[in-house]
Amino acid sequence: MLQQIIALVIILFFVFRLFGQKMKHKISGNEFGLWLGFWIIAAAAIIFIKDIDRLVKSFGFSGAGINFLIYLAVLALFYLIFRLRLDLAKMDKNLTELARQNALNDKK
Amino acid sequence: MKISCVIPAWNEAKNISRVVGEVRPYVSELIVVDDCSDDETSALARTAGATVLRHPINRGQGAALQTGDEYALRNDADIIVHFDGDGQFLATEINDLIAPIMSGQADIVFGSRFLGKASNLPALKKYLIMPLARIFNRIFMGIKLRDPQNGFRAMNRQAATAITIENRAMAHNSEIQAKAFRAKLRIAEVPVTVTYHEFGQKFSGGLKIASDLLIHKIIK
């Protein structure tokens, strides 16, 4: 129970921080929505951890719900790193095109 | 027939004047793409008689080649030759390379170090890195060529238009070959001499090329 409360306090801290960033226009509306959704799901998962335990068991997994959440978090991290890698590659491509057009326009 | 030669160069002040001087007699226009060198590459190339394009930031050999190709196409090149700025190729072999295009037998011609002419290819490259690269190219890229990584090549206008180089670093070699096969261009390989002044691409570089090629396949 104490662990759940600590986890919820930490999430609350990040949610407040998120609102602060939105008020200061540091993040876009879409980004705000995405992270808010993420923290709400995380909070729900912690509140309903017992139900997740039952759900995991009904799928035939022997581990506790918290383990299942950690596996999901690792998968999500892998996905985010992959997305970042792709975004970087796209930015790199655009940068090359800018450099090219600059070189070609200088010669016109 | 207008023959343009594209030479990507990065900090090649030591070699560029000699290379431009050697290549100039064999082509109609020589385009040096200075990939943001810190040295006098641009000035020396210009003095030697080349048209110089300069990237404001360093983008890699593949990017420089594509910049040169676009410039050559805009300026009505009929044949584009790719040549290295470090003097490892022989300018006298440009005629051998463009001959199959001039005679209408090929759209793109790749130089090969494995067709009889002597190249001082390091043993590790010859017996390990190149065979592995050949297998990789064959399986993952559908390339059936003797030389998997040779920067000495020539192509006609149709081929240059069909092939847009997207890999900005060293993976462009395999990319160009793969795109030539995919576009069903008429492809030829001719023997060329390559003089190694240093080892060049290492095994780790080969792995980087493979990873770049796979990433580009994903983000397309």
- Report the distance separating Cα B168 and Cα A31, nearest Å: 31
- Report the distance separating Cα B45 and Cα B42, nearest Å: 5
Task: Kindly list the strands in the beta sheet with B29-34, ordered across the sheet, starting from the edge strand earlier in the chain.
Answer: B51-54, B29-34, B3-9, B79-82, B153-156, B108-112, B187-191
- B23 CA to centre of own chain: 14
Res B203: pLDDT: 66
In this prediction the pTM is 0.75
Residues A102, B215: C-beta atoms closer than 8 Å: no
pLDDT tops 60 at residue B199: no
Residues A85, B215: C-beta atoms closer than 8 Å: yes
- Report the distance separating Cα B94 and Cα B24, nearest Å: 11
Tell me which chain A residues have a C-beta less than 8 angstroms from the C-beta of B168: 92-93, 96
Residues A100, B74: C-beta atoms closer than 8 Å: no
Give the nearest partner residue to A104 out of B57, B63, B71, using CB atoms: B71
A interface residues, B as partner, C-beta within 8 Å? 85-86, 89-90, 92-93, 95-96, 99-100, 102-104, 106-107
pLDDT in tens, B163-198: 999 988 888 998 999 999 999 999 999 999 988 766
Does the CB of B42 have a partner CB in chain A at under 8 Å? Answer: no
pLDDT tops 60 at residue B86: yes
CA-based nearest residue to B83, from B9, B17, B25, B13? B9
Tell me which chain B residues have a C-beta less than 8 angstroms from the C-beta of A93: 166, 168, 219
ipTM score here? 0.80
CA-based nearest residue to A42, from A19, A64, A22, A72? A72
Tell me which chain B residues have a C-beta less than 8 angstroms from the C-beta of A103: 33, 53-56, 67
pLDDT tops 90 at residue A7: no
Res A62: pLDDT: 67
Tell me which chain B residues have a C-beta less than 8 angstroms from the C-beta of A104: 53, 67, 70-71, 74
Contact B90, B117 (CB under 8 A): no
pLDDT tops 70 at residue B110: yes
The set of residues, in sequence order, having a beta carbon less than 8 Å from that of B136 and lying 6+ positions away, is: B148, B174, B210
pLDDT tops 90 at residue A50: no
pLDDT tops 60 at residue B220: no
Does the CB of B63 have a partner CB in chain A at under 8 Å? Answer: yes
Query: Is B38 strand, coil or helix?
Result: coil
pLDDT tops 60 at residue B56: yes
Highest mean pLDDT: which range of A41-55, B26-40, B116-130: B26-40
Give the nearest partner residue to A99 out of B56, B71, B166, using CB atoms: B56
pLDDT tops 90 at residue A83: no
